[in-house]
Structure 1
Amino acid sequence: MLPPPPTIAVLRGAGLRPEEVIDWHPTEVVWRVHRTTGAHVVPWNAMRRFGPILRFDHHPLPRSEHAGYGIWYGASSPRGGLAEAFQSARVIDRDRGDPYLTGLRFSRPLRLLDVSGIGEGTWATRVGGNHALDSAVHGRTQHWARTIHRAHVDLDGIIYRGRFAGGVCVAVGERAADAFPVLPVLSLPLSHPGLSGPIDSAAHQLGYTVT
């Protein structure tokens, strides 16, 4: 079970050790699956201002539109992006909302707090938590995200293990808004014939179905 986070002052006092922060370099591609039609569409290079909704949303309560906050989630592989986007029904729907798979490289290195032990650090344990940060209920992990955001103003976001594909995922906040490129590396609709093979392979590995 994940306990509540310590206070902002305690987190700030604990500091960050070099091995607890991972630099996400511009050579690395990050992937996102996103809808392009329907309600509440967010472009591939824009952050969601409404929240908190998902795991590491650092928006204040209550849930609302927060102009001063933004969050963007991505995965280190297309399979990870598909796993996260279609986790609720475990069905990869290539048509509803005209979803796209987009890969991009950030234009500068990002400083991301490792909360899952991806690197050599054990930050979560050291400050009184544990690695359930990547799997606990959203209300609790959002509390941690709000505290982290306020305690460490030099971080761009969080790096963690995706709950479904098990790969590396990132959650970056408004401090990284200047790091988005003008153009993506790749951006194709999931209905594109060239994605049929990769989507079918990912669905087979995940145990998802495809429509």
Structure 2
Amino acid sequence: MLPPPPSIVTLRDAGILAGERRAWQPTDVLWRVHRTTGSHVLPWNGLRTFGPILRFDHHPRPRDEHPDYGIWYGASSPRGALAEAFQSARVIDRHYGDPYLTGVRCLRPLRLLDVSGIDGGAWATRVGGNHALDSAAHGRTQHWARNIHRAHADLDGLMYRGRFAGSVCIALVERVEDAFPVRPELSLPLTHPALAGPIDTAGRQLGYVIT
């Protein structure tokens, strides 16, 4: 079970050790699956200011529009992005909402806190928590995200292990807006023939149905 987070002051005093911080380099692509039609659609580089909703949303309560807070979720691989985007029904729907797969190379290194020990650090344990940050109830992990965001003003976001693909995922906050390029590295609809093979492979590996 994941305990409540330490106070903002306690987290700030604990600091972040070298092995707990990750610099996501501009040579590394971030992948995102996003709808392009329907309600509440954001552009590929748009940060969601309405929240909190998902795991590491750091928006204040209550759930509402918070213009000063934005969140953007990505993955280190296309399979990871597909796994997270279609986790609810475990169906990769290539048509509803006209979803796109977009790859992004940021303009500068991203300053990330590794909350899952992916690179060997033990930040979560050291500050009094544990690696259930990857899987605990969203209300609890959002509380952690709020305190981390306010304790460490130099962070662009969090690096964690996706629950469904087991690969690296990233939650970026509004401080990263200056790091997005004008154009993505790649952006294709999931119905594009070039994605048929990768999507079929991902669906088979994940056990997801493809429609």
- The question of a shared fold, defined as TM-score above 0.5 by the shorter chain, is answered with yes
Aligned residue identity for 1:171: A
Q: In structure 1, what is the equivalent of residue 113 of structure 2? A: 113
Over residues 9-68 of structure 1, what are the superposed CA-to-partner deviations in whole Å (9 max), with x where a residue is unaligned?
A: 111111111111000000000000000000000100110000000000000000000000
Q: Helix, strand or coil for the counterpart of 1:159?
A: strand
Gaps of 5+ in 1: none
> 1:33 aligned to 2:7?
no
The match for 1:76 is 76
Superposed counterparts of 1:112-151, under 5 Å = 112-151=112-151
1:64 counterpart residue number: 64
CA distance in 1, matches of 2:14, 2:30: 30
Per the alignment, in what secondary structure is the counterpart of residue 203 of structure 1? helix
Q: Which residue of 2 aligns with 1:19?
A: 19
Deviations 1:93-116 (A, max 9, x none): 000000000001010001100000
| Equivalent residue number for residue 197 of structure 1 | 197
Structure 1 residue 157 displacement after superposition: 0.3
In structure 1, the residue matched to 2:99 is: 99
Task: State the SS of the aligned residue for 1:142.
Answer: helix
Query: Within 2, Cα distance between the matches of 1:202 and 1:141?
Result: 28
Alignment partners' CA distance in 2, 1:139 and 1:2 = 11
Alignment length, in residue pairs? 211
Secondary structure at 2:106 match in 1: coil
Residue 169 (structure 2) aligns with:
169
Superposition pairs of residues 37-52 of structure 1, within 5 angstroms: 37-52=37-52
| CA–CA distance in structure 1, aligned partners of residues 20 and 50 of structure 2 | 29
TM-score by length of 1: 0.99
Q: Secondary structure at the match of 1:139?
A: helix
CA distance in structure 1 between the partners assigned to 2:43 and 2:142 by the alignment: 23
Residue by residue over 1:116-138, the C-alpha shift from the partner in whole angstroms, topping out at 9 and shown as x without a partner, is: 00112100000000000011110
Partner of 1:55: 55
- The DSSP-based 3-state class of the residue aligned with 1:42 is coil
Aligned-partner SS, 1:125: helix
Unaligned stretches of 5+ residues in structure 2: none
Distance 2:91 2:121 in 1: 35
Deviation of 1:184 after TM superposition, in Å, equals 0.6
